[in-house]
A and B are shown apart, each in its own frame.
Chain A
């Protein structure tokens, strides 16, 4: 039994040595492509986003974003939101017990809990806000396997959900007032 285990281990190592460089290139290109798709969608919606957030973001303000947590990979673009934190547009990849899960995801991040409290309070009762973290508000659109080629449309939908929430909340500026 131990010998079989050792052979498997050796086989895995040998395959790794042979394929690592190609695999790494493929991962790098995949990440770049996912980020470019997010950039394209976010750039197209910047007019609406700037209006809702009362900002002057340009496509050049969208920077690469790539983060891994225990359960998820996030790949996409991020923009600084002055006075709050950041706005993120990404592809979220998750490993679940029964397989993988994919989402087109937009989320707003605040640096501190005492910023934009009204916005976070309002999110509690809303189903459109799919992730209500202490400092994150996420708007996700689950991406079925057969819809992966339509990722752009799903991310665009997530942006629409995010904008609807901000606009119905009276815009971001209102919540960044010193009183909040």
Chain B
């Protein structure tokens, strides 16, 4: 992700800092000169003499060729590494299996822009959980974030309409609380803060005892964008936590564990670009991902 505020508004020195127009008084004198073309010509000549041109940078693909060659060597190693990692992950999830080995990229329900499908499936998974003690950690939250009042979740609602818009997932917390999840399957843009502000306002108007607002997305929004009390969680992190949940359930509740894993596989393949099959220069990303979730005990 780019466009963070770190440099744009800081003491980062532009190499244009010594432009003559930056000196006070110069603009005024030039304006006067506009009335006197002869003097202006002299000024231009003087400027021209001051100009030191940089030698043109020679553009070449040499570095690129070197880079591509190195990438090919890396890829040969990645193919073997991917197989080893998939085998380990498969064992970890036995008697089920590693969902990345099942191709979930072709199903129409799960194509990239079907935000509703992902929301429906996630809502169903949340509904099957025992309560907030299980739900909140999926989003990196705990009972402190929810006001210290955990309990069982109410009926999970989808696409609740109001004057503020249509929310993605709402999970009631008791009678006077709400977990609101805004689901995004694409990189979020500048319209996001307006939407979040509307939903935050909607929640505030309900005078709830406690509310937890979550933004679920592929990549973190630009830090300069206001999130209005929403906490960002990435699909990547949430799926790794769901995998851990499936690992715990795989023997006691294998059907539910399998459903969770298939959901993870769909998200990982369609939204995160991971795959159990070798793809040019993409396999190490999958290896790192699988290593990460397995290392979380």
Residues of A within 8 A of B (CB): 12, 15-16, 19, 22-23, 25-30, 32-33, 36, 58, 60-61, 63-71, 74, 78, 80, 85-86, 88, 107, 109, 111, 132-136
Residues of B within 8 A of A (CB): 1-7, 9-12, 14-15, 59-61, 64-65, 67-68, 70-71, 74, 140, 219-220, 223, 233-234, 237, 280-282, 284-285, 288
Q: Are B59 and A12 in contact, with the CB atoms below 8 A? A: yes
CA distance A23 to B65 in the complex (A): 8
Determine the chain B residues whose CB is within 8 A of the CB of A26 once the complex forms.
64, 67-68, 70-71, 281
Determine the chain A residues whose CB is within 8 A of the CB of B68 once the complex forms.
19, 22-23, 26
Sample of 12 A–B contacts (CB below 8 Å): A12-B61, A22-B68, A23-B68, A26-B64, A26-B70, A63-B1, A63-B220, A67-B4, A67-B6, A68-B2, A109-B10, A136-B12
Chain A residue at smallest Cβ distance from B9: A135
Distance from A150 Cβ to chain B, minimum over Cβ atoms (Å): 18
Determine the chain A residues whose CB is within 8 A of the CB of B5 once the complex forms.
85-86, 109, 111
Distance from B9 Cβ to chain A, minimum over Cβ atoms (Å): 7
CA distance A42 to B83 in the complex (A): 28
Chain B residue at smallest Cβ distance from A61: B140
Determine the chain A residues whose CB is within 8 A of the CB of B14 once the complex forms.
70
Determine the chain B residues whose CB is within 8 A of the CB of A71 once the complex forms.
15
Chain B interface, DSSP helix/strand/loop, else mixed: loop
Counting from the closest, the 4 A-B pairs by CB-CB distance are: A134-B11, A133-B11, A63-B220, A60-B237
Determine the chain A residues whose CB is within 8 A of the CB of B12 once the complex forms.
69, 133, 136
Chain B residue at smallest Cβ distance from A133: B11
Q: Are A28 and B281 in contact, with the CB atoms below 8 A? A: yes
Determine the chain A residues whose CB is within 8 A of the CB of B288 once the complex forms.
36
Q: Which of B6, B7, B65, B71 gathers the greatest number of chain A CB atoms within 10 Å?
A: B6
- Known contacts: A26-B71, A60-B140. The answer to whether A70 contacts B6 by CB under 8 A is no
CA distance A99 to B94 in the complex (A): 52
Q: Are B6 and A19 in contact, with the CB atoms below 8 A? A: no
Q: Are A25 and B281 in contact, with the CB atoms below 8 A? A: yes
Determine the chain B residues whose CB is within 8 A of the CB of A15 once the complex forms.
61
- Known contacts: A29-B282, A32-B285, A109-B6. The answer to whether A64 contacts B1 by CB under 8 A is yes
Q: Per a CB cutoff under 8 Å, which of A27, A63, A107 touches B6?
A: A107
CA distance A180 to B102 in the complex (A): 55
- Known contacts: A16-B61, A86-B6, A135-B9. The answer to whether A33 contacts B223 by CB under 8 A is no
Q: Per a CB cutoff under 8 Å, which of A32, A36, A134 touches B10?
A: A134
Chain B residue at smallest Cβ distance from A58: B140
Determine the chain A residues whose CB is within 8 A of the CB of B234 once the complex forms.
60, 63
Determine the chain B residues whose CB is within 8 A of the CB of A85 once the complex forms.
5-6, 223
Q: Per a CB cutoff under 8 Å, which of B6, B10, B71, B233 touches A25?
A: B71
Q: Are A66 and B15 in contact, with the CB atoms below 8 A? A: no
Chain B residue at smallest Cβ distance from A62: B220
CA distance A60 to B216 in the complex (A): 13
Q: Are A23 and B64 in contact, with the CB atoms below 8 A? A: yes
Chain B residue at smallest Cβ distance from A86: B223
- Known contacts: A29-B281, A67-B7, A70-B15. The answer to whether A19 contacts B61 by CB under 8 A is yes
